[in-house]
């Protein structure tokens, strides 16, 4: 019903505006008696074979929602009812920021893809922390953290530490985002020396805690094999929990959408179906080259159960959805979970 009746109507409107409309509608519906129970009965699939322990955390199923959908942790309870095994909020920055100029989110419908240049628009770490402190569900939540746009790279660590401190008591794991293409200069932090220094200091602060939280690194799909080798070395050297592969790509190769439409959308990160193969390649390379030394969370182009299984077969411990969730609807989570049990 979603693909036949609902998404064609939603896709008539500006992508960012309809996102907020749907989120507000979900939040409103969730307040109506019995609606949460109805949503859970429709979209949740629990099975003992789906339960997984990764990085010391117990996930009810391996299908999570990637960062970017619920930037300010405003819908964790509602999204839990749609069957996800975990939710990643953010990217969160220390101070609120409006993000890049609109329009900044575009659909490439022929490719089942999105281009975004949101620019870490969010209400700040303190707001996200307050929202999470008041949530009712027990679903595992990750905090995806970044730096403010006007913070120079040589001061980036300060921003990540602020977010780490603000969110520590209300999230189950952290994700260090240095791979978004939409904050100028951010991807420079993926280079070996600055990234090692950043992660080493974060992990130092983490291990000083009574209950350290797993820290993951989210990487770009555009890294070379030698850069991926560096990532493997950095994860082992710093002792962080693992990697999320991958973020959006700056590539525009092999798209069905017309060149004019692509150029009209402009700069930004591409997500969705065109990213599926490359993301799986990166997952497989890291898992094989590291001899599965740490968990990898697979994300990028998962729009069907088959693509989810491909990433699991490549070595991914957990999975995340975003663009596939937009195009295929909430039933995708249940479909994947059922297929993983049958696998």
**Assign residue 86 a region: left if phi > 0, alpha if psi is -120 to 50, beta otherwise?**
beta
Is 182 annotated as belonging to a binding site? yes
- Say whether 177 counts as a known binding-site residue: yes
DSSP string, 90-159: EEE-SS-B--SPSP-EEEEGGGTEEEE---S-BS-HHHHHHHHHT-----EEEEEE---TTS-GGGHHHH
Residue 118 marked as a ligand binder: yes
Is 246 one of the annotated binding-site residues?
yes
Confirm whether 180 is a catalytic residue. Answer: yes
Decide if 120 contacts 100 (C-beta within 8 A): no
Say whether 248 counts as a known binding-site residue.
Answer: yes
Q: Was 116 annotated as part of a binding site?
A: yes
Q: CA 98, CA 28: separation in Å to the nearest integer?
A: 24
Residue with tokens 């497989």: 284
Using an 8 Å Cβ cutoff, are 86 and 142 in contact? yes
Cβ distance 111 to 256 under 8 Å? yes
DSSP letter string, 13-76: S-HHHHHHHHHHHHHHHHTSTTHHHHHHHHH----GGG-EEETTEEESSSEEEPTTSSTTS--H
Q: Which of 180, 271, 290, 317 is catalytic?
A: 180
Q: Is 272 annotated as a binding residue?
A: yes
Residue 119 known to bind ligand: yes
247 annotated ligand-binding residue: yes
Q: How far apart are CA 337 and CA 305, in angstroms?
A: 8
Query: Cα(first)–Cα(last) distance of the chain, in Å?
Result: 26
C-beta of residue 200 within 8 angstroms of C-beta of residue 238: yes
Query: For 143-177, b where at least 16 C-beta lie within 10 A, e where not — what string?
Result: bbbbbbbebeeeebbebbbbbbebbbebbbbbbbb
Is residue 68 a known part of a binding site?
yes
Q: What share of the chain is helix, strand, coil (3-state, %, to 5)?
A: 45, 15, 35
Q: Is 72 annotated as a binding residue?
A: no
Residue 22 near residue 79 (C-beta atoms within 8 A): no
- Catalytic residues, by residue number, are 180
Binding site listing: 67-71, 91, 116-120, 144, 177, 182, 218, 246-248, 272, 301, 322-323
Binding site listing for FMN: 67-71, 91, 144, 177, 218, 246, 272, 301, 322-323
Binding site listing for substrate: 71, 116-120, 177, 182, 247-248
């Amino acid at each position: 019903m979603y693909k036949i009746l609902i998404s064609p109507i939603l896709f008539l409107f500006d992508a960012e505006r309809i996102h907020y409309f749907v989120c507000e509608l979900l939040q409103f519906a969730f307040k109506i008696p019995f609606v949460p129970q109805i949503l859970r009965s429709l979209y949740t699939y629990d099975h003992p074979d789906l339960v997984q322990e990764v990085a010391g955390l117990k996930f009810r199923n391996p299908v999570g929602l990637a960062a970017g959908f619920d930037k300010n942790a405003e819908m964790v309870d509602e999204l839990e009812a749609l069957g996800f095994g975990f939710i990643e909020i953010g990217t969160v920055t220390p101070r609120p920021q409006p993000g890049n100029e609109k329009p900044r989110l575009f659909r490439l419908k022929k490719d089942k893809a999105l281009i975004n240049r949101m620019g870490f628009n969010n209400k700040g770490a303190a707001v996200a922390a307050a929202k999470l402190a008041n949530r009712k569900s027990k679903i595992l939540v990750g905090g995806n953290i970044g730096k403010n746009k006007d913070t120079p790279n040589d001061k980036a660590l300060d921003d990540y530490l602020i977010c780490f401190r603000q969110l520590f008591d209300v999230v189950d794991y952290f994700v260090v985002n240095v791979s978004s293409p939409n904050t100028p200069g951010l991807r420079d932090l993926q280079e070996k020396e600055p990234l090692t220094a950043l992660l080493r200091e974060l992990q130092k602060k983490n291990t000083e805690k009574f209950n350290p939280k797993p820290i993951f690194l989210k990487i770009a799909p555009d890294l070379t094999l030698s850069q991926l080798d560096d990532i493997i070395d950095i994860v082992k050297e710093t002792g962080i929990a693992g990697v999320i592969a991958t973020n959006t790509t700056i590539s525009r190769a092999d798209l069905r959408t017309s060149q004019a439409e692509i150029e009209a959308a402009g700069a930004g990160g591409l997500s969705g179906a065109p990213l599926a193969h490359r993301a799986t390649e990166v997952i497989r390379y890291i898992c094989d080259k590291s001899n599965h030394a740490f968990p990898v969370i697979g994300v990028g182009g998962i729009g069907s159960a088959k693509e989810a299984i491909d990433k699991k077969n490549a070595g991914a411990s957990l999975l995340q959805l975003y663009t596939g969730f937009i195009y295929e609807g909430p039933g995708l989570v249940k479909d994947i979970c059922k297929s993983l049990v049958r696998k």
